[in-house]
């Protein structure tokens, strides 16, 4: 099995193809991590999950292939098997036109060609401004020995939404620092902001094992019924609930192989998990004009958000509760997800 990173830049066509080994590290946040190969001699190009109240769920492998042309790299992204699986599940529906998907994450590389024309105005809750750029800070903010390990996470997640729903608009909301951490108050504030500013679907490829009082308040106040919230179950390889995914008003997403027959080796599981879609070997954008291969429930969550955007654009009369029921019933997998009862 191989993983590939392609720089989408005519001036820099690197080639390096490498066989993946399953060497993993278990970090404090109980998420599985593999450091990324250093593909451009710059520091901080390894991405991992980070400890904190909320953290990015991602498992990354990256290397480059200079012999591949830019057009071939883009075709690999657009025609990857996971996207084709979601296309088959969606059937003959629209491509997300008129739907806004908020990606609450590390921000985005606005200059990336795969996201050109797909971004709408967002907000940066880390810096407190209207420029939610996915960027490094050069700090080891969580004292885990890794610097900027979540850099690029939001760019990748946004591109996976776009791969499934190419006509949807991505609202970029930055809450995670470059180490992939944020406190629960910041995440909750971002969720409310996204809904107030027109998000139809809110993608949360992040989580924490602690259910905060802030999340309970959002649910009690009815915010979670004003849009469709989709969240990653996590990469714990255990029946360990992650929030907000395990909240009653949120669709929780775990990862499978491309055929949706087997749970991915890293993916969380349990009767609290609602849907199961591919999460291995996903190919998407990486900050800096790269194409990257990523394993994790983060990407699986983005696939589900894209699927939901397509369905909602086809039938705009669906309210968030009806859309939630439809998505859960469409993407549940026998033996891999729980019952539908909590959304009925």
Q: 82, 103, 80: which is closest to 276 by C-alpha? A: 82
340 is catalytic: no
- Which H or E run includes 3? strand 2-3
The 3-state secondary structure of 230-295 reads: EEECCCCCCCCCCECCCCCCEEEEEEECCCCCCECCCCCCCCCCCEEEECCCEEEEECCCEEEEEE
DSSP of 6-34: EE--TT------EE-----EE-TTS-EE-
105 is catalytic: yes
User: Among residues 105, 109, 144, 249, which one is catalytic?
Assistant: 105
First-last CA distance in the chain: 40
Q: Is residue 122 classed as helix, strand or coil in its secondary structure? A: strand
Helical segments of 42-140, H only: 70-78, 81-90
Cβ 275 vs Cβ 343: under 8 Å: no
User: Among residues 54, 65, 144, 153, which one is catalytic?
Assistant: 153
**Which one-letter DSSP state was computed for residue 323?**
H
317 is catalytic: no
User: Among residues 54, 158, 219, 298, which one is catalytic?
Assistant: 298
**Which of the residues are catalytic?**
105, 153, 298
């Amino acid at each position: 099995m191989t993983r590939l990173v392609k720089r989408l830049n005519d001036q820099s066509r690197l080639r390096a193809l490498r066989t993946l080994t399953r060497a993993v590290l278990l970090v404090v946040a109980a998420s599985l991590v593999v450091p990324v190969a250093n593909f451009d001699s710059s520091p901080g190009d390894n991405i991992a999950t980070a400890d904190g109240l909320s953290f990015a769920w991602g498992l990354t492998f990256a290397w480059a292939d200079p012999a591949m042309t830019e057009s071939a790299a883009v075709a690999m992204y657009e025609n990857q098997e996971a996207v084709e699986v979601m296309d088959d599940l969606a059937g003959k529906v629209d491509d997300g036109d008129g739907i806004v998907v908020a990606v609450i994450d590390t921000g985005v590389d606005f200059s990336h060609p795969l996201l050109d024309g797909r971004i709408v105005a967002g907000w940066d809750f880390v810096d407190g401004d209207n420029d939610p750029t996915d960027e490094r800070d050069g700090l080891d903010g969580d004292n885990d020995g890794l610097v900027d390990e979540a850099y690029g996470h939001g760019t990748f997640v946004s591109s996976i939404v776009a791969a499934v729903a190419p006509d949807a608009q991505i609202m970029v909301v930055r809450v995670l620092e470059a180490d992939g951490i944020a406190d629960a108050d910041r995440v909750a504030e971002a969720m409310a902001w996204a809904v107030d500013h027109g998000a139809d679907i809110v993608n949360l490829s992040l989580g924490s094992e602690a259910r905060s009082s802030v999340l309970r308040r959002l649910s009690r106040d009815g915010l979670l019924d004003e849009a469709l919230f989709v969240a990653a179950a996590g990469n714990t390889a255990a029946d360990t609930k992650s929030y907000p995914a395990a909240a009653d008003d949120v669709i929780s997403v775990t990862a499978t192989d491309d055929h949706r027959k087997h749970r991915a080796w890293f993916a969380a599981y349990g009767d609290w998990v609602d849907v199961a879609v591919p999460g291995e070997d996903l190919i998407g954008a990486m900050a800096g004009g790269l194409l990257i291969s990523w394993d994790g429930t983060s990407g699986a969550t983005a696939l589900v958000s894209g699927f939901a955007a397509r369905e909602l654009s086809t039938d705009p009369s669906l309210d968030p509760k009806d859309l939630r029921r439809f998505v859960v019933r469409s993407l549940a997998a026998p033996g891999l997800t729980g019952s539908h009862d909590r959304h009925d």
